[in-house]
Amino acid sequence: MLGLESYRLVADMNRLLALLFHQGVLDEQFLQLQQLQDESSPNFVSEVVNIYFNESEKLLRNLRALLMDREQWEYTKVGVHLNQLIGSSSSIGANRIRNVCVALRAASEQNNRLGCLRALDVLEHEYCYLKNKLHEFFHIEQQRVLAAGIRYPNPMQQHQHHP
């Protein structure tokens, strides 16, 4: 029973990832992250992604504040925030978020206020979507780990002689 449960969960994870790739929400950089995860760093992907979420939320809040300011637009600050978000999004493979940021940056450089506010709405929506999906992904992964009875370090090592 446990074995079957494990397989089902793996299938769920793969299906979810396939969907996100198909939608262009994630790109191959995310796969690169997964390849860097192993027994010595078993939670690497979720650690990086959580840092990304923390950083991004701050940046998005700041962007919202800067762009909602009726008086003065601080273009330089907007640019700096966007560059950070573009960089970190591309580092984890958050492809759609990155693209929306690029569009928002272009609108800001063109003083297109309406375009900026629209792009910001899309950006916040994309961010929520990615966050929900990745939380779902990590949740399934946690369940799979429990179901398979895997304890880190690798269970194979537990059979070895301990000094």
Partner 1 sequence: MGMATTKSEFHVLAVDDSIIDRKLIERLLKTASYQVTTVDSGSKALEFLGFCEDVESNSNEPSTSPNNQQEVEVNLIITDYCMPEMTGYDLLKKIKESSSFRDIPVVIMSSENVPSRISRCLEEGAEEFFLKPVRLADVNKLKPHMMKTKNRDCQKAEEEVSSNEKIASLEIKSSEQTQAEDGNNNKRKATEAEEELSQDRTRRRYNGLTVI
Q: Give the DSSP H/E element, type plus range, for residue 96.
A: helix 95-109
CB atoms within 10 A of CB 58: 13
Closest distance of CB 88 from partner 1, Å = 5
Whether 20 and 95 have beta carbons less than 8 Å apart is answered as no
Which residue is listed with tokens 């272009």?
Answer: 106
- 38 φ, ψ (degrees, to nearest 5): -155, -165
Site string for partner 1, 53-92 (x = CB under 8 A): --x---------------------------xx-xxx-xxx
Whether 120 and 64 have beta carbons less than 8 Å apart is answered as yes
Question: Is 44 near partner 1 (CB under 8 A)?
Answer: yes
Closest distance of CB 85 from partner 1, Å = 10
Determine the Cα–Cα distance for residues 65 and 63; give it in Å rounded to an integer. Answer: 5
Question: Is 51 near partner 1 (CB under 8 A)?
Answer: yes
Compare residues 48 and 148 and give the one whose CB is closer to partner 1: 48
Total of residues contacting partner 1 (CB under 8 A): 22
And the tokens for 91?
């580092």
Question: Is 43 near partner 1 (CB under 8 A)?
Answer: no
Residues 11-30 that bind partner 1 (CB under 8 A): 29
Compare residues 51 and 65 and give the one whose CB is closer to partner 1: 51
Q: Which of 14, 23, 34, 41 touches partner 1 (CB under 8 A)?
A: 41
Determine the Cα–Cα distance for residues 134 and 131; give it in Å rounded to an integer. Answer: 5
Positions that interact with partner 1 (CB under 8 A): 29, 32-33, 35-36, 40-41, 44, 47-48, 51-52, 55, 83-84, 86-88, 90-93
